[in-house]
Structure 1
Amino acid sequence: MEMVNMHEKKLFLDANKFVAIISEAGSAGFSLHADRRVINQKRRVHITLELPWSADKAIQQFGRTHRSNQASAPEYRVLFSNLGGERRFASVVAKRLESLGALTRGDRRAGPSLSAYNYDSSYGKRALMIMYEGILEQDSLPVVPPGCLSDNPVTINEFIMEAKSALLSVGIVKGYEEHFGSLSGYISDNDMQDVRRFLNRLLGLPPDIQNRLFELFASIFDHLIQDARIEGNLDTGIVDMKANVVELQGTPKTVYIDPVTGASTVLFTFILDRGTTWQLATSMLNEKQKGGLGSVNDGFYESKREWLGRRHFILAFESSVSNMYKIVRPTVGESFRDMHLSELKRKYKKVSCLKNAQKGWEVEYNVSSKQCMHGPKRKLGNFCTVGRSRQEVNILGGAILPLWRAIEKALSNQLRRNHRRLRVVRIETYADNQHIVGVLVPNAAVKSVLQGFSFYLPYP
């Protein structure tokens, strides 16, 4: 009996069995990764049915299938229920993984199943404080609470009263009975930014209010992340620049050659077309609705407000998260952030006549290829790329570490003016399947980059 586990492990590594089931007790010392020295080198899909309380134990479990000398990296699937309080376990593990760095920071595509749940961060603490202040009616909420209508303050007030009572029952809201005699209350300074305590106490609430509170917190969290991304302050590691068409323009320019290694630093210029044609949008919707899998709210929408004399059109279809919808725009394709159904209906109205939607979609698509969303009178002119489908992108690739300080100096004025930081990006050309990784250079700073590195070149 003592050798049963070793025998089963050998059957798995020899490709006689393709499913291995291990418990927490068996999560130490076993190597089940796609080792190049064994027969079974298929990519591992590691399914975790229940996250442990300890982040270190979770990392120990993940290490069973992710080791050196492997033919391919594993794919992790972490399963847990839709109760808001259970996000606590994922949040703790995600924070621990990000502190290690390798799995979640160097490549934003690595470990996405957990890094998306790292709520115990500076953004999570700020989101929690904003939510508490809104519930205590010390400030307004930046998002509409789940299940409420923006034009109906009664439903919002009812939610706030219910949230106060819920937080009181788990000991987060205190003092209103003793000092105030009403539902105003207070939350201690220590609890205002204690995300772990909030997620832990959520487990003591009924599922309905538990999920609504967590959804409100997650919505504020996403709102802060989106603002940081727009402002250029979000550190996301290596960012993939995606587009429907990627074209390399001209010959890459060598700006520096390392005298020791001979490695060169090269400036690449690409033309990206992120726009979505009407034909592509309709095919995406048809694919979603194939087999009756689509939602009744899937379809094309028109904005209720005008911008520069015209209304915007979008395609919305339900995502894997309940009441959340993926948004596709004619100008920039699929949005980074999914939109809640309440926000979708608040800002847009569904289009019943496809001919009207097609006309508006094609107008917006054609205009976005020539100018940004701010119109032709934008002060930055062609340098502004907000809402522009076709744009020029410059990437400084190759040996960039020896020039990191020089790059910062050359781009300092541009970065300071736009309150941004250096961004490392990755781009793939579809024609020759070439992958380029480097620093994104704003169009307005290309000339200064070429001038700033001219003294590094070993030739005139």
Structure 2
Amino acid sequence: MPGVLTLDKDHNNMSKFLNRILGMPVELQNRLFRYFTDTLGAIVTQAKRSGRFDLGILDLGTSGETVKRVKTWMFVRKHATGTAPTELHTVHVERGMSWTEATEKWAELTGAKEGFYLSHQIRNNKHTAILAVIVDNGVKKKSESKKEQMYYVYRPNTGLQFRQESLAELEKKYKKVESDEAQESWIAQYDASVTTCSHAYWRGNCRNVNMGHDCEVGLRRRTYNVVSGSVLSVWSRVESVLASKNGTHNNKMQVIRLRTDDG
């Protein structure tokens, strides 16, 4: 019927779909894939905001963080074939980098562009201090542009960052300084990040905290409540309790894998 769209019987055949795309002009192919990636990005962003985004298994203590068990509660639940224990652990994860650790790392550096940097931008009368370490990928080129030279970035409140930055990006946002120039900014953020989130530190206040909610953005010490043992028997109940809490996006349970300092 004219004007009525119907799905092809093989509409869910991915191979056929991709083959049809290959028959399109390259410009249209690029537009279509751009539409796909933009849509996917929007869906992921919305899922993160609503707390429905599943990151998979979260590893703690495998990237240099210090994981300390603070408290443990044990519960015994009855089920059809007997009883099973369920434990609730409260753990603190320290992920920052102290000034002592930073200077020890800095003392090992030999590159001309490696070392401490301070941000050009001043927020709330404060500079951002970072430590940049060149990425050694084992491949040496005679000449690399600033965009090709990649660096690991360490921050006082969150330690080693997952995202590497190019030298061009670093020099655009920061200026290289001596260690004594970075010390004050580094220590100030490290000390404050125990209890002060990034919003309050850089802006002077945090909307979530002002509304009476917790905010752990940028904290170097984060608190996790980990359920172990007979988890499936309490999963739906715990998740329903989390979902009933207003003003928080952390309303979804996640599988976690960790190793504490005491093993």
> TM-score scaled by structure 2?
0.69
Deviations 1:278-315 (A, max 9, x none): 1111222333x3xxxx5432111111112222111011
Aligned to 2:155: 329
Contact 1:244 1:273 in 2 (8 A): yes
Contact 2:194 2:219 in 1 (8 A): yes
Aligned to 1:366: 191
Contact 2:69 2:89 in 1 (8 A): yes
Question: Which has the larger displacement, 386-395 or 329-338?
Answer: 386-395
CA distance in 2, matches of 1:343, 1:420: 35
Aligned to 2:169: 343
1:272 Cα deviation after fit? 2.3
CA distance in 2, matches of 1:367, 1:190: 46
1:320 Cα deviation after fit? 4.2
CA distance in 2, matches of 1:406, 1:336: 34
Of 51, 55, 59 in structure 2, the residue corresponding to residue 236 of structure 1 is 55
Matched, 1:193 2:14: no
Of 318, 324, 330 in structure 1, the residue corresponding to residue 134 of structure 2 is 318
After superposition, residues 83-162 of structure 1 pair within 5 angstroms as none
Aligned to 2:124: 308
Q: Percent identity?
A: 28
CA distance in 2, matches of 1:228, 1:339: 26
Deviations 1:16-49 (A, max 9, x none): xxxxxxxxxxxxxxxxxxxxxxxxxxxxxxxxxx
Matched, 1:270 2:86: no
Matched, 1:380 2:196: no
Deviations 1:86-126 (A, max 9, x none): xxxxxxxxxxxxxxxxxxxxxxxxxxxxxxxxxxxxxxxxx
Contact 1:314 1:330 in 2 (8 A): yes
After superposition, residues 207-286 of structure 1 pair within 5 angstroms as 235-242=54-61, 244-250=65-71, 252-259=72-79, 260-286=81-107
* AA partner of residue 380 (structure 1): N
Aligned to 1:454: none
CA distance in 2, matches of 1:237, 1:254: 26
Call closer, same or farther: CA 1:355–1:416 in 2, change over 3 Å.
Answer: closer
Call closer, same or farther: CA 1:227–1:361 in 2, change over 3 Å.
Answer: farther
Matched, 1:418 2:249: yes
Contact 2:242 2:251 in 1 (8 A): no
CA distance in 2, matches of 1:280, 1:229: 36
Matched, 1:396 2:222: no
1:413 Cα deviation after fit? 3.0
Aligned to 1:200: none
State the SS of the aligned residue for 2:120: strand
Call closer, same or farther: CA 1:173–1:297 in 2, change over 3 Å.
Answer: farther
Call closer, same or farther: CA 1:193–1:415 in 2, change over 3 Å.
Answer: farther
Between Structure 1 and Structure 2, which shows a larger proportion of strand residues?
2
State the SS of the aligned residue for 1:429: coil
Call closer, same or farther: CA 1:326–1:230 in 2, change over 3 Å.
Answer: farther
Between Structure 1 and Structure 2, which shows a larger proportion of helix residues?
1
Contact 2:76 2:83 in 1 (8 A): no
1:355 Cα deviation after fit? 0.8
State the SS of the aligned residue for 2:259: strand
State the SS of the aligned residue for 1:281: helix
* AA partner of residue 233 (structure 2): P
CA distance in 2, matches of 1:390, 1:361: 16
CA distance in 2, matches of 1:346, 1:302: 11
Contact 1:415 1:421 in 2 (8 A): no
Larger radius of gyration: 1
* AA partner of residue 306 (structure 1): I
Aligned to 1:408: 239
CA distance in 1, matches of 2:233, 2:82: 11
